[in-house]
Amino acid sequence: MFDKVEILLSEIKQSEVGSKDELEAFRIKFLGSKNIIKPLFAEMRNVEPSDRKAYGQALNELKNAAEGRYNELLDSLDDQEQHTMAEGIDYTIPVPMDHHGSRHPVSLVLNKMISIFQRIGFVVAEEREIEDDWHNFTAMNTPEDHPARDMQDTFYLKGSTEMLLRTHTSSVQSRVMTKQKPPIRIIAPGRVYRNETISARSHCQFHQVEGLYVDKGVSFADMKDTLLYFAKEMYGKDAKIRLRPSYFPFTEPSAEMDVYLGTADDTAYRLTKGTGWLEVLGCGMVDPNVLDSCGIDSEEYTGFAFGIGIERSAMQNYNISDIRLLFENDVRFLKQFSPIL
Ligand code: PHE
């Protein structure tokens, strides 16, 4: 008799269920009105009188074990169900695609310009935004008393007259030229800072792309040719360019380049204020003083450089009227833009 009890006890302890039906089968077998334990109570009369007490206790324990195990199985089934609900997530259900990211208009313009210059052998150079006075100004032939150094225009680091936020990507020119020997052919995209009042038209931070080409025999004609290629790639095959004399401390001669878009097209008319000409970049032949400051022999080498402002191009290209929108990261604004083809 005791053997039967033992066998049932171990069966109860070892039983597992994987579904509600299996749990119900367990209940019916061990706890139901015709359960398997009941007949064992009837066996009492066949047990030796001296063993009856122990047998009765063993049966009660068996009953309790069945109840206890039932509750355990019920709990574990609940857990399993919660688990299968999580596992049962259908990863193939299509996701609404209205939250996917998009490129910032500034990045779109930057990337396009970078790829145009990479195609003709310019290599991307990136440098620090926190610069020293020497790389940003002195090496770039900008004298001590130049107004650009004024506290009004330049963000100096707190308590410093030496460290500043670079005011143009031209600081990358001096960084590269002091490290690298010619031939140098780099394109340097990046953020620059000027202490200007923020308005719809100007901001204290913006982006530029700097270009620098230094080698033996680099001429003004090489610069014109390179910039004409850029204008055609950027603004279309029919683009024409003109160079107007200008002044930058680090180039001599210096020029500003305009691109001819014409006036036939409504957008072109608006962008060029009816003149057909769009102001695009500053450029010039690298001043010999700059080469010498950076340890490049100006008797042996010449070069040209240019700097393009990105925000204005992005605003023109995407018809954005307020520069501040470019720095506010409003998703509703940002998701409107697609790549320039
Ligand atoms: N650094 C000039 C600016 O910020 C642009 C420039 C770069 C002009 C290189 C000439 C050559 O306006």
Range of the domain at 197: 105-337
CA of 255 to the centre of ligand 1 (A): 10
- Please measure the distance between the N-terminal and C-terminal CA atoms of the chain and give it in whole angstroms: 89
CB 294 within 8 A of CB 178: yes
Residue of 141, 208, 244 best suited for mutating to test ligand 1, as the one with most atoms within 8 Å of CB: 208
Separation CA 131–CA 190 (nearest Å):
13
Same domain as 110, residue 56: no
Separation CA 204–CA 42 (nearest Å):
95
Same domain as 256, residue 230: yes
30, 56, 87 - which closes a domain: 87
> Which atom of ligand 1 lies nearest, measured to the CA of 192?
4
Nearest CA to ligand 1 atom 2: 307
87, 121, 155 - which closes a domain: 87
pLDDT of residue 81: 76
Residue 92 domain flag: no
Ligand 1 within 6 A of CB of 251 = yes
Residue of 168, 220, 308, 312 best suited for mutating to test ligand 1, as the one with most atoms within 8 Å of CB: 168
Residue 212 domain flag: yes
pLDDT of residue 255: 98
Same domain as 76, residue 113: no
pTM of the predicted model, to two decimals? Answer: 0.72
- Among the listed residues 279, 276, 302, 308, the one whose alpha carbon sits nearest the alpha carbon of residue 289: 302
pLDDT of residue 341: 57
Residue 121 domain flag: yes
Ligand 1 within 6 A of CB of 173 = no
Ligand 1 within 6 A of CB of 303 = no
CB 254 within 8 A of CB 283: yes
Same domain as 112, residue 59: no
CB 232 within 8 A of CB 219: no
pLDDT of residue 311: 93
Ligand 1 within 6 A of CB of 277 = no
Same domain as 176, residue 284: yes
Q: Spell out, as residue ranges, where the chain has pLDDT lower than 70.
A: 85, 98-100, 151, 340-341
pLDDT of residue 98: 66
Same domain as 247, residue 191: yes
Residue 33 domain flag: yes
Same domain as 143, residue 7: no
Same domain as 303, residue 165: yes
| Structural domain count of the chain | 2
Phi, psi torsion values for 290, nearest 5 degrees: -70, -45
Peptide bond into 183 cis (omega under 30): yes
Same domain as 314, residue 192: yes
Same domain as 144, residue 289: yes
Query: What secondary structure letter does DSSP report for 157?
Result: P
Phi, psi torsion values for 215, nearest 5 degrees: -165, 180
Give 269-324 pLDDT, tens digit per residue: 877 889 999 899 999 999 999 999 999 999 999 999 999 999 988 988 888 889 99
Residue 99 domain flag: no
Separation CA 52–CA 43 (nearest Å):
10
Residue 100 domain flag: no
Q: Residue 146 maps to which CATH number?
A: 3.30.930.10
Give 29-42 pLDDT, tens digit per residue: 999 999 999 888 88
Residue 98 domain flag: no
pLDDT of residue 317: 84
Separation CA 239–CA 229 (nearest Å):
9
pLDDT of residue 99: 64
Q: Which residue has the tokens 């010449």?
A: 302
Same domain as 118, residue 64: no
Same domain as 125, residue 19: no
Alpha helices in the chain (DSSP H): 2-14, 20-31, 38-42, 52-87, 105-118, 133-136, 170-179, 220-235, 266-271, 288-293, 310-318, 331-334
28, 56, 87 - which closes a domain: 87
CB 126 within 8 A of CB 169: no
Residue 97 domain flag: no
